[in-house]
Amino acid sequence: MGRRIEGLVVRVTGKEVWVEAGGEITPCVLRGRFRQKRHEFQIAAGDRVEVAPPESRRTQGAIEAVLPRRSWLSRYTGGRDAVERIIVANIDVLFVVESIASPELSYRFLDRVLVSAESGNNEIRICLNKIDLVEDQNGISQALSVYVPLGYSIIRTSAKTGEGVDEITDLLRGGVYAVVGRSGVGKSSLLNRIDPDLNLKVGRVAEKTGRGRHTTTYSQLFPIRGGYVADTPGMQTFGYPGRSKDDLPVCFPEFRPHGDSCRFRPCTHSHEPGCAVKEAVERGLIASTRYQSYKDMLTEVEIREKSRYT
């Protein structure tokens, strides 16, 4: 067996992967099992890999192994390509970005990203961006009242005025970081504000639909403050990536204190009598928007599980 080097995947496009080791970037090809869809064979920005370095006659290295991931962000993509897709791996702090206006805050989408982030074992911060656009603070207080009790820190930011950006910068300490969220919420703009040298492409939000234009098209790690940050493309859908519906409730931190008190075990917290989670929703201890998100995702996973066995 030849010499192997260990490196960090900084970019994945089509069939080529860039691996950084010792300050040098080696372009690598994806061969054999690494072209399969199974997530242990997928390669994403942030993965640590073993590479057979290029020989004199070839200019590309070859990836030989992917090391186990500490954390990851993934989503389930539906359709013919139905599979869990890893977006970024080994993230130290994941910044989940939403905008308070233009586009308007989507509780549903935010919950989906948060659940996927929980399922991938991530340390999470929420960035509520574009606060320069709101005069009325009600929307912000409402969002805070739902997410702060769950234990998530919320950073109020504006990529335009720079407000709150230092709070993000202070958390960047030489590790791997990532921003994720819908198209147009300002992920690339925030990163440019932290480090103008990044010079990331920024898009416009369509006036009619309030939607972003998918300006960032693939995940890539950029050097930042002695570490790396991944800018990710805004995604239209964010399917729950977990294996089964039994893993879903633990991705809702506010369910944890109640889940053990349900009359039936296991309890899906949907139709069962004597469900402590449902009771907590009725008593206002769990936000109804969060419970609705849970039920939507549960239905989705149930449909997926059924189609797998028939």
Report how far residue 310's alpha carbon sits from residue 308's, in angstroms, rounded to the nearest whole number.
Answer: 6
Among 53, 120, 186, 242, binds ligand GTP (CB under 6 A): 186
Closest CB 290 distance from Zn ion, rounded Å: 14
Distance CA 75, CA 160 (A): 30
208 binds, among ligand GTP, Mg ion, Zn ion, none (CB under 5 to 8 A by kind): none
Residues of span 207-266 touching Zn ion by CB under 5 A: 262
Strands (E), 213-303: 220-224, 227-231
Choices 23-31, 41-49, 128-136, 143-151; region in contact with ligand GTP by CB under 6 A: 128-136
Q: Any contact of residue 159 with ligand GTP (CB under 6 A)?
A: yes
**Binding flag, residue 105, Zn ion (CB under 5 A):** no
- Judged by beta carbon distances under 5 to 8 A according to partner kind, the member of Mg ion, ligand GTP, Zn ion, none in contact with residue 275 is Zn ion
CA distance 146 to 194: 28
Does 216 bind Mg ion (CB under 5 A)? Our answer is yes
Least separation in angstroms between residue 247's CB and ligand GTP is 28
184 binds ligand GTP (CB under 6 A): yes
Q: Which of 42, 215, 220, 268 binds ligand GTP (CB under 6 A)?
A: 215
Among the residue ranges 11-19, 48-56, 69-77, 182-190, the one whose residues contact ligand GTP (CB under 6 A): 182-190
Site for Zn ion contains 267 (CB under 5 A): yes
The least distance separating ligand GTP from the CB of residue 132, rounded to whole angstroms, comes to: 5
DSSP H helices in the chain: 107-119, 138-147, 165-171, 187-194, 256-259, 276-282, 288-309
- Judged by DSSP in three states, 259 sits in helix
The secondary structure of 168-180, three-state, reads HHHHCCCCEEEEE
Structure-block tokens of residue 235: 């995604």
Q: Among 91, 117, 275, 301, indicate the residue that binds Zn ion (CB under 5 A).
A: 275
240, 213 in Cβ contact below 8 A? Answer: no
Which residues contact residue 28 at a Cβ distance below 8 angstroms, ignoring those fewer than 6 apart? 16, 17, 18, 19, 49, 51, 60, 61, 62, 63
Which residues sit at the interface with ligand GTP, rule CB under 6 A? 129-130, 132-133, 158-160, 183-189, 202-205, 212-216, 233-234
Which residues sit at the interface with Zn ion, rule CB under 5 A? 262, 267, 269, 275, 277
